[in-house]
Amino acid sequence: MHTLFVFSDTHGTQLPDPVLQIAEESDKVVFLGDGLNRLGDILLHKGFIGVTGNCDWTTRGFNREEVLELDGVRMLLTHGHDYRVKSGLLDVTMRAKELNCSVVFYGHTHFAAADEYDGVLLICPGAIESGALTPPSYVYAVTANGKLTFKHVTL
Render pLDDT for 2-57 as a digit per residue (tens, 0 to 9).
999 999 999 988 888 999 999 999 999 999 999 998 898 999 999 999 999 999 98
Distance CA 3, CA 124 (A): 17
Question: What pLDDT, on the 0 to 100 scale, is given for residue 13?
Answer: 87
Closest to 35 in 3D by CA, of 14, 11, 57? 11
Question: What pLDDT, on the 0 to 100 scale, is given for residue 132?
Answer: 57
Q: What is the mean pLDDT of the chain?
A: 94
Closest to 25 in 3D by CA, of 41, 7, 9, 2? 2
Closest to 40 in 3D by CA, of 12, 59, 62? 12
The pTM assigned to this predicted structure is 0.95
In which element (H, E) is residue 19 found?
helix 17-25
Question: Where are the chain's structural domains?
Answer: 2-154
Question: What pLDDT, on the 0 to 100 scale, is given for residue 60?
Answer: 82
Render pLDDT for 111-145 as a digit per residue (tens, 0 to 9).
999 999 999 999 999 998 866 578 899 999 999 99
2-154, which class in CATH?
alpha beta
